[in-house]
Structures are given as structure tokens and as C-alpha cells.
């Protein structure tokens, strides 16, 4: 068994609407238990305020990306995502994170894993957590990563260079089925839900089914103790029905509350992480919500859509995420086989992280 090095290289990045340290796989212990101890120390997970690490008192700032050359012949990079606990020393590597995904290709290029092309560089990434494949295109003028640009995403101040993310096979990546329970709508604790596995296992609920408008602020939803307890009880049952087993110590499936948007191509979403409402929205969650929105027979279904490409908007508390979905077939035979969206990323610092004694 290898040991934990006290000082390890680290690159802190803002990726999409998340932030966290990026590591090359070789910088961390290869033993999963020791690796997780190092990540707990890096984030400062044991303290709810995370004062002794890089975390920010939120699941959005307690994320880690671990990157290496891919073991898959058809991919360039392997990306392992880790959700580190807030106030408890835990590490969950079952989910993916599409926001952190936006920083993977720029990080890998600057670390020498990928040779940059002049203009833009497209990298195929294998998400180790779910098995999904994603193409990421980053701006590389003069064969150097550029973080500067005019692209704005809701939930992030200022502008930056665009990172295009094209999800290629995220449907059923975790459970093997788009609708793991075999049904598009079912009832859990008296409430209709859709259990879907599209980039992230989700339990989608209509806001009206919970006595909500769906446009409540995250803080308002978090303050409703009985509501949060009800959602968690439903999530645990959804996890069991989806074949995920006991999910009490896992962050998947994620609960989502949806309501109608202001147009035929928009849907309002409140995404949970899972024990608090996201300040904006997860990218992987937006893929799942837009898939359920585009297909018939779900609690999120919109108008009937023809085969082809559709630009849909997932409206969240700080704006919206636009997702272009490719729909094949119509009606009950329709499937979504591709989804693309734009994120941004920015490198905050490169340095050496000193782990605390209690994880050594």
C-alpha cells in the first residue's frame, strides 16, 4: 500500500459554476482509500465551513477532478470526479460533474497530456464514474490554452473563453437504461416521478405535486424542513427502484423539481445536490432534464417534437442553460442520442497543496 505525500501539486480551477482542485492521477495515492483520505484533507471535508482546506462550505466548492491519459483506445483522457463531503469526511465517486468537466481538457493540455492544435483543440474524455464519453473543444490560439473570451454563462461573473461539451453516450451510462425502472412515470410516496439516467441518475418531480410553484429560491426550498425530508425519503426509494441500492451515503440519484417554462422550448428546474438546492444548476442535471423534457410520457414532457436538433433551455435560479439535443424518431420511439452545450473555465492558481497531519 502506498503512502500519502504531505505536499502534492494542485491546480485550482473554476469550471462552469463549480470550483475545485484538479490533480493528475499520478499526484495522488493509487490506493483508493488513501486517495480519498488525501481528498478529504485537501477540501477540509470534516469541518462544515471547510476552513482547513480548499472547500467553500458548499457542495459546489467541494469537488475534485482527477485526470490521466485514457485507458480507452477511443478516448484521449480519463476523468474521475469526486464529490467530497461538507461537514463529514466522505468521498463519492458514483456521480459525474459536467461543470468540472469543462476544466479537464484545458488542465490536461497545460499538463502536457494533450498536444494543443492551433486555434481549437478537441479532446475526447472518458468519464470513469459513469463510462460516458464526452468531446470537449477548447480555445488554443497559438497552441496555447486561452481562458480569456467573450462567452458568458449564468451564475458566473464576467466572461471567458468558451468550452464546448458534446455528450455522446450519456443515456443509461450508470444503470444501463435511460428509464431504469422500466417506466416513464411512477408513484413514490403518493407523488408522480420520473426516474431517468441521462448523464446523471435523476428523480424528477413536478413542482405542483409537492405543492410548489417551482420558481422558489433555493434558500426558501432549503428552509422547508418537512419538504426536504419528504424529498430525501422519495430519493432513497428512487435509488432502490433504479437498481442503485442503498443511496443514503451517495449523492445519486439527484432530486429535481420541474415546472413549465415561459416558452415551448424552456422548462424551469430546481436541482438538488442532493440535500440542498443548487444555487444555479448542474450541467449533467441539465442534460437529464432536457432529455425528459424532449421525450414524451415523463413528468417533465413538453410539446411533441419532430426528429432533429432542438435548442432547449433549462431555466434555473441564476439564469438558464441552453442544451442542443439531437432527437431521433418520434413519439414513443424517439430517443435522444446527443446533447451539446457551452461552459467556461478559468485557472485560479497552480501550486503545491499541503495536506494536514490528520490524514497522513
- How is the chain split into domains, by residue range? 7-169+345-359, 186-342
Pick the CATH number of 7-169+345-359 from 2.40.37.20, 3.10.310.10, 3.30.43.10, 3.20.20.70: 3.10.310.10
If one looks up domain 186-342 in CATH, what number appears?
Answer: 3.10.310.10
Sign of CA dihedral 316, 257, 336, 286: positive
C-alpha cell at 249: 451515503
Q: How much of the chain exceeds pLDDT 70, in percent?
A: 99
| pLDDT surpassing 90 at residue 310 | yes
DSSP E strands: which ranges in the chain? 7-15, 18-24, 63-69, 77-84, 91-92, 119-127, 133-140, 162-167, 186-188, 191-197, 201-206, 254-260, 266-271, 308-316, 319-328, 335-354
Average pLDDT for residues 8-32, to the nearest whole number? 97
In terms of phi and psi (left: phi > 0; alpha: psi -120 to 50; beta: otherwise), the region of 29 is beta
Q: How confident is the model at residue 1 (pLDDT cuts 50, 70, 90)?
A: very low
Q: How many CB atoms lie within 10 A of CB 185?
A: 17
Higher-pLDDT residue of 174, 118: 118
pLDDT digits (tens, 9 = 90+) for 253-289: 999 999 999 999 999 999 999 999 999 999 999 999 9
Closest by CA to 253, choosing from 55, 68, 96, is 96
Q: What is the pLDDT of residues 199-234, one digit of tens each?
A: 999 999 999 999 999 999 999 999 999 999 999 999
Domains 7-169+345-359 and 186-342 share a fold: yes
How far apart CA 91 and CA 66 sit, in angstroms, is 13
Band (pLDDT 50/70/90 cuts) for residue 333 is confident
Contact 34, 1 (CB under 8 A): yes
| Tens-place pLDDT, residues 46-64 | 999 999 999 999 989 999 9
Per the prediction, the chain carries an average pLDDT of 95
Rounded distance, CA 349 to CA 352, Å? 10
Rounded mean pLDDT, 141-147? 98
Amino acid at each position: 500500500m502506498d503512502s500519502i505525500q504531505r505536499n502534492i501539486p494542485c491546480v485550482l480551477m473554476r469550471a462552469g459554476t463549480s470550483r475545485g482542485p484538479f490533480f493528475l492521477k499520478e499526484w495522488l495515492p493509487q490506493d483508493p482509500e488513501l486517495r480519498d483520505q488525501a481528498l478529504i484533507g485537501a477540501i477540509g471535508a470534516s469541518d462544515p465551513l471547510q476552513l482547513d482546506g480548499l472547500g467553500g462550505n458548499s457542495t459546489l466548492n467541494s469537488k475534485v477532478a482527477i485526470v490521466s491519459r485514457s485507458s480507452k483506445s477511443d478516448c484521449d483522457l480519463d476523468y474521475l470526479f469526486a464529490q467530497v463531503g461538507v461537514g463529514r469526511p466522505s468521498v463519492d465517486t458514483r456521480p459525474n460533474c459536467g461543470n468540472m468537466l469543462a476544466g479537464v481538457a484545458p488542465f490536461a493540455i497545460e499538463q502536457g497530456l494533450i498536444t494543443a492544435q492551433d486555434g481549437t483543440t478537441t479532446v475526447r474524455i472518458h468519464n470513469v464514474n459513469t463510462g460516458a464519453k464526452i468531446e470537449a473543444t477548447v480555445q488554443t490560439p497559438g497552441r496555447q490554452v486561452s481562458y480569456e473570451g467573450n462567452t458568458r454563462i449564468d451564475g458566473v461573473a464576467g466572461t471567458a473563453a468558451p468550452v464546448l461539451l458534446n455528450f455522446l453516450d450519456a443515456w443509461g451510462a450508470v444503470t444501463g437504461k435511460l428509464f431504469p425502472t422500466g417506466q416513464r412515470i411512477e408513484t413514490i410516496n403518493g407523488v408522480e416521478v420520473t426516474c431517468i439516467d441521462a448523464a446523471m441518475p435523476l428523480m424528477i418531480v413536478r413542482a405542483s405535486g409537492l405543492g410548489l410553484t417551482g420558481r422558489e429560491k433555493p434558500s426558501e426550498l432549503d428552509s422547508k424542513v418537512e419538504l426536504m425530508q419528504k424529498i430525501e425519503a422519495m430519493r432513497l426509494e428512487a435509488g432502490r427502484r433504479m437498481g442503485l441500492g442503498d443511496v443514503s451515503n451517495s449523492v445519486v440519484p439527484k432530486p429535481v423539481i420541474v415546472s413549465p417554462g415561459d416558452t415551448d422550448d424552456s422548462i424551469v428546474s430546481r436541482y438538488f445536490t442532493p440535500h440542498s438546492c443548487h444555487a444555479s444548476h448542474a450541467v449533467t442535471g441539465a442534460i437529464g432534464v432536457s432529455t425528459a423534457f424532449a421525450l414524451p410520457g415523463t413528468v417533465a414532457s413538453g410539446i411533441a417534437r419532430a426528429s432533429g436538433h432542438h435548442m432547449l433551455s433549462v431555466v434555473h435560479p441564476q439564469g438558464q442553460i441552453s442544451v442542443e439535443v439531437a432527437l431521433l424518431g418520434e413519439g414513443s420511439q424517439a430517443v435522444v442520442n446527443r446533447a451539446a452545450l457551452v461552459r467556461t473555465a478559468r485557472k485560479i492558481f497552480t501550486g503545491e497543496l499541503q495536506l494536514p497531519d490528520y490524514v497522513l
